[in-house]
Amino acid sequence: MKIEIPKLAPEGEQFTGAEPAALLQLDVPEQIRAEGPIQYDFFAQLLGHELVVRGSLSADLAVTCGRCAEMFSTNMAISDFLRTFDLSGGQEIVDLTDDIREEVLLHLPHYPVCKPDCQGLCPQCGCNLNQGACDCKAQAADLRWSGLDGLKLK
């Protein structure tokens, strides 16, 4: 998205639209991928020799759950986008493409979970516990500590 400074109204302007998902340059489609364009709603205004752009972004993403390793869809909404650009160098066009990409990437979930009660995978056989229980036996307790079981405290 580019803003042409000479065409910008003195009171500022609203910019609403979408950028293609390819803008994100996500190289791990098995872990995360965009499911549509990145939507933006910005207000740009000149203040002295600065351009101030504030607004919101949203994107529909498919991400891999950190517990069960299944892909799920989620919407990422960013309501606090804010950038200032120094225009004292005489720029006539400001390109927000890199700023949009950066903001979305910084807001990606670090440990996405498909649902709060996701059971994850069995640590022994790898079965998805959300789809049913597995036949694995509970792991035996460490017997090196069993001598403390008889310890009586007052």
- Span 70-109, pLDDT tens digits: 999 999 999 999 999 998 888 889 999 999 988 988 898 8
Which residue is listed with tokens 């789809």? 131
> Average model confidence (pLDDT) for the chain?
88
**Cβ–Cβ under 8 Å, residues 67 and 120:** yes
Sign of the CA dihedral 66, 100, 42, 88?
Answer: positive
Q: When comparing pLDDT for 128 and 147, which is higher?
A: 128
pLDDT digits (tens, 9 = 90+) for 108-144: 888 899 999 999 998 888 889 899 888 887 766 677 8
In angstroms, the CA 94 to CA 82 distance is 14
Cα-flanking dihedrals φ and ψ of residue 83, to 5°? -140, 145
**At residue 9, does pLDDT exceed 70?**
yes
Q: Is the dihedral of CA 10, 101, 98, 17 positive or negative?
A: negative
